[in-house]
Amino acid sequence: MAPMIYTLYGFAIFFFVFWCAMWLLHVLAILYGKFRLHRKIKELPPDVPYPGISILKPLMGVDPNLLSNLETFFTMQYPTYEILFCIEDEKDPSIELVNSLIEKYPKVATNVFIGGSTVSVNPKINNMHKAFEASNYDFILISDSGIRMREDTLQDMVGHMTETTGIVHQMPFTCDRPGFAATLEKIYFGTAQSRMYLSADCFRINCHTGMSTLMRKCVLVTKEGGLKSFGCYLAEDFFISKYFLDMGWRTRISSQPAMQNSGTCDVRSFQARLSRWAKLRMAMLPLVIVFEPLTECMVIGACAAWATSLLFRWEPVVFYLIHILVWLMCDWILLSIVQNGSLPFSKFDFIVGWLFRECTGPYLFILAVFDPSIRWRNRCFKLSWGGIAQEVKPRIKC
């Protein structure tokens, strides 16, 4: 009987300590976000020219916001850059859209690469490979199709590119859009995602997502194979960042978040995206299976309520409700910091969206555990431990 009691008390102490650590992350993310995000653009000294940047823009298909999103890349106030569009299918409707923008902005250096390559199992790497090889500048910006840029975004990212920094990436966030799905996305990226992203960046932990990433090309080409050497992973962004860190370079987030503005926004596709990311994290870092569920408000709150009832004889139901209320308030504060302005929904909408996200988060994680296959567009992949990907019925061998 005694060993069982000791075991219970051991679990209770673990859950209570983990719960306290999560609150420290809450406070850290709020303070670091206030300090780090939406700062004044760092101007380079007058005698230091702005470096040229090659923007790799992989495209596939057209959504209602693609034209306006792409146009923001043509109107940036930055002295020297080129846009390299990467389109795998020669019949892709985005080609016509891109050509119309090239005609509208003839002074912007552009090139269109159609057909992709078969150098890896990663479709994104295959799509970008030709453009990467043909890029003219020492800095590469990889930018997903759904990203919207401000006129000064490149200046902001370059301003954080110090002599010891190899990668500057934008923290994922979303543009203001109508509908419950858009509210849900903004709440997730402005709370759960931002909390871990800001905390990881503060401690210099690899938290890199590759939706908008500025990196030194010279570091990539020092690895045999260059960009294509990361094509055996689906989460190439994580392993690119890991390589930079292993080579002694720093990675940093810029002060402007990445403004996702996909024209296709629905709850099911968003949840599928979260589940896909969870599968990638589990394959890359197996301990995620144990610890990630404990970062969820509802899960760690229930564990902590049980732990404090055993350790301190506190009322578990009251503790749990107070825990949820304070967590919600902290998330509202963090979301407001990341938004840096008025939110496009009411407090009631926030509460509904927040509760939906927090209650479905553990469920999506469980689904990811029991279905490890990755579905990306019309293709399916399986992952081995360490993040190595293999396509089901592959087109190429990796």
Tell me the C-alpha to C-alpha distance, in Å, between residue 239 and each of 45, 226, 230, 231, 395. 33, 13, 7, 10, 23
Cβ 32 vs Cβ 201: under 8 Å: yes
d(CA 338, CA 331) in angstroms, rounded, equals 10
Cβ 15 vs Cβ 306: under 8 Å: yes
Cβ 270 vs Cβ 374: under 8 Å: no
Which is the catalytic residue, given 237, 246, 349, 371? 237
Catalytic-residue membership of 237 = yes
Chain centroid to Cα 361, Å, comes to 17
Cβ 383 vs Cβ 374: under 8 Å: yes
Q: What is the dihedral of CA 58, 92, 133, 57, to 10 degrees?
A: -20
Of 78, 66, 208, 69, the closest CA to residue 137 belongs to 78
Q: How many CB atoms lie within 10 A of CB 104?
A: 10
Catalytic residues: 237
